[in-house]
Structure formats: structure tokens, C-alpha cells
Structure 1
Amino acid sequence: MKSAVPNKTTYYFDDDLAGFGLYRTTTGTGTYFAEFRPVAGGSKKRLKLGRVGTLKANEAREAARKAIANAALGKDLAQNRSDERASLTVEELVSK
């Protein structure tokens, strides 16, 4: 018998490392993430670390540990990624 596919994304959190977990989408894709609250306050942020199968659980846990530690030190890796995506590419810079 085939197991039922959930009709919404399901989140699973690690028992040992607060803020680390994975989520499974309705298609079955699993993605590891780190969840943290910036030192300056505000809402929680969730940083995608990588897909299940591409990234091993222990590698994802270590990446989450670093992301959560950086957040505790005032560094926001999620914001850094967002800033990098918004920055100009070399091609865009040269074409100006």
C-alpha cells in the first residue's frame, strides 16, 4: 500500500539542535533549514541549507549550527544571501 502524500508542507525539527530541521513539500522533496531570530529582534528567519539527498544530515546540522551561531553574534546569513542576489552581476556592471 502506498503511503498518503500530505496536502501541505510538513516541518520536522531536530531534538538536539534548536532551530535545525527539514521540511517536506507535497511532492516529497525534503529541504534542510536553519531557523533563528536576529539579535536585533524581529521575526524569525529561515535559511535553506540544501536538499535532502544532496546534503547529508550531519553536514546540514553543522551548517545550521554555524548559521544559528552567526545569528547569535549579530550576523544575518539570510540577509547576506538576499543582498548578494540583489547586487549587480559583472555582466550588468559592464553593460552600463
Structure 2
Amino acid sequence: MGNDVWLGSNVVVRRGVTIGDGAIVGANSFVNKDVKPFEIVGGIPARTIKMRFTDDKIRMIQESKWWEKNLEEAKVIIAHLEKQGLFETDAP
């Protein structure tokens, strides 16, 4: 299980499945395949709904490794990323 992952209620994740950083799994989903970083999945079995960000934004967020920092450092990094528009979704 990656960092900053959101799981809806009643989600079942099969043993050995990897869920990447920043992924979102919809409620009542059955996850039987790996979920990419920042991918949104849902259903039975879980399928890709969309990606949260572009590949460039995903790379920049992962390179920041804000989740490995202490709280104050993480706040500064997140504020910097927000100023660059990295936490705005790319989908309408």
C-alpha cells in the first residue's frame, strides 16, 4: 500500500496486489490487479476510471517525497506543489 492512498468502504484487496501512491479505490470494489500511482479505480473487479494527474505531475509529486518529511517540511513542499498547480485535477 502506497502513501496517501484513499480506500472507500467495503473494499477488498487481493493478497499480493500493490496499490500505488496517491491511488483512490472506490467503495465496494474488489481489487485483484496492481493499481498505478495516482490511478482512480472502482468496480468488481476494479478497473481504471481515470488518472488523477498527468504523467509529468505524478513524477513531480513522487520526486518531492513529501510523505517522508516531518510535518513542517511536508507543509512547505505541499504549498510549493500547490503553487505550481500540481494538486489541481486534469479532468473536467
Q: Same fold (TM over 0.5)?
A: no
Please, what TM-score do these two structures have when normalized by structure 1? 0.27
Between Structure 1 and Structure 2, which shows a larger proportion of helix residues? 1
Between Structure 1 and Structure 2, which shows a larger proportion of strand residues? 1
Please, what TM-score do these two structures have when normalized by structure 2? 0.28
